[in-house]
Amino acid sequence: MKKNLTLLGVFVVLICSLTIFTGCAEKKSVVTSGSAQEQQVAPAPTPAQIPTDTTKQSDSTAAPTDTPNIKETANEQSSLMEATAKSPISDINFDYDSSSIRPDAREILKTNADYLLKHRISSIVVEGHCDERGTAEYNMALGQKRAQETKKYLINLGIQESIIKTVSYGEERPLDPNNNEEAWDKNRRAHFVVTP
């Protein structure tokens, strides 16, 4: 009898532990080209989040000389972000409930393509975004259509298809969190992440 109660107690504790641990995971689905859905991984730390001051380490905790210097890595990432920030790559916007590329967006894409063709680019990620209206599933699909249409247009302008990837964030990452027409117009966009 005592053995049965002990086993029952262990079983209850095990079930409670598993329930707690499985209930804590948060997963966001992101639609990318080439696959139905993938789980989004936490974003890489920005240079501001990477510690850059290695001079405060004591001699006993100093990194060995054969490992890369954190400060150098942060400077490289900072330079990469500055180069991308200074580049003339601009987002394009879309009309409500549409994935058609507008005439003003075509001009922006031509300028973007000129820059991309003149510089050595290893990859381009076209992110499709939507405003908050509509269901999450609908906006995820619409964001993917916007990214795909943008990719097709860039390919027609001479950009290699092999370096362009698409991803849809739907309404997940608004540029402007306000709830008005001006904010919604900003959020209906294709954003470019370029890796030199």
Give the start-to-end residue ranges of the domains of the chain: 89-195
Report helix, strand or coil for 119.
coil
Low-confidence ranges of the chain (pLDDT < 50): 24-85
Query: pLDDT tens, 82-136?
Result: 444 455 789 999 999 999 999 999 999 999 999 999 988 889 999 999 999 999 9
Report helix, strand or coil for 30.
strand
Report helix, strand or coil for 128.
strand
CATH of the structural domain 89-195, one choice from 1.10.10.10, 3.40.50.300, 3.30.1330.60, 3.40.50.150: 3.30.1330.60
pTM of the model: 0.56
Q: Are 178 and 166 in contact (CB under 8 A)?
A: no
Q: What is the pLDDT of residue 148?
A: 96
